[in-house]
Amino acid sequence: MRDDATPDAVEFRGVDDLGRDVGTHEAFWAEVAKKRSHGADGSKPTFYAKGIEYWDGVAPDVDGVLGGFAHVSAPDARDNAKLLEDLRGRGRGGAKANGTKTTALDCGAGVGRVTSTFLIEKFDEVDLVEPCRHFLDAAAADALVRGDGRADGHRAKRFVAEPLESFVPERERYDVIWIQWCIGHLTDDDFVAFLRRCKDGLRENGVIVMKENNAASGFILDLEDSSITRSHEYLLHIINRTGMRCLEHRLQTGFPPELFAVRMYVIVPSSSFRRVGIQNSSR
């Protein structure tokens, strides 16, 4: 088996955050599909509506979006920058070669925390996509997110209010598509479809970076915010379903021990995959 692979036929069992069994991943998502919203968008599972309802009630600030753990933002930004630095050293992720502007997409951007602490520092232009309007409004009103007064001219260009399950990135616009702490709100099928659309949004040598909590095994359903935390193996399984490859994954450092382990996954189209580029790092 490849280092970046999981078997084609796999079964991931889940529990909710009260420790109750919720079945295999296939059985769980089949049940989710049966329960549809009766609101304006009845075509979507209630699973989605509950997630939006939860986040609509959260304060539009860093402490709110991080669940009271605002202090992890600094080590988060530090490790994000180190990963990008390493990727650019290998000619990926917007390594400057011909003077063209570098562009990033911040997915599930919330109040623009990842943009203001990291992406705006490293990219000429950043687009933000976020389904919760009050979060996006807070991001658009933040001078640090917008890049006001920056000597380097880096700017947030677009603020898009749309769920990831329907969002379509502009074709070949992005050097990096950054997806952090949001993908647990998507069903497996929507997750796969979204990553495939992101692939079409990449420029040559562009990458998708997904940063997510890891369950110890299987998955854990959060009953409060209507999301799941997938295990490392489960996330690799999803990546493999897209037809892309995990070029590298590494653990976040410096977080409190009571939190889930967090990994960063560098995802690339199969055409740009090189065996020599795999780094399964605990740094």
Residue 283 falls inside a structural domain: no
Cα dihedral 247, 106, 79, 193, rounded to 10, equals -30
Domain limits at 185? 25-269
Q: Report how many domains make up the chain.
A: 1
The DSSP letter of residue 41 is T
Q: What is the spatial distance between Cα 138 and Cα 58, in angstroms, rounded to a whole number?
A: 12
279 in a known ligand binding site: no
Residue 101 falls inside a structural domain: yes
Residue 42 falls inside a structural domain: yes
Q: Pick from 127, 126, 267: which is nearest to 207 by CA?
A: 267
252 in a known ligand binding site: no
What does DSSP say about strands 174-180 and 155-160: parallel, antiparallel, or unpaired?
unpaired
180 in a known ligand binding site: yes
Residue 209 falls inside a structural domain: yes
> Tens of pLDDT along the chain (283 residues)?
334 444 457 899 999 999 999 999 999 999 999 988 655 556 789 999 999 999 999 999 999 999 999 999 999 999 999 999 999 999 999 987 667 899 999 999 999 999 999 999 999 999 999 999 999 999 999 999 999 999 999 999 999 999 999 999 999 999 999 999 999 999 999 999 999 999 999 999 999 999 999 999 999 999 999 999 999 999 999 999 999 999 999 999 999 999 999 999 999 998 876 543 444 544 4
Residue 188 falls inside a structural domain: yes
Residue 159 falls inside a structural domain: yes
CATH code (residue 164):
3.40.50.150
Residue 8 falls inside a structural domain: no
Residue 63 falls inside a structural domain: yes
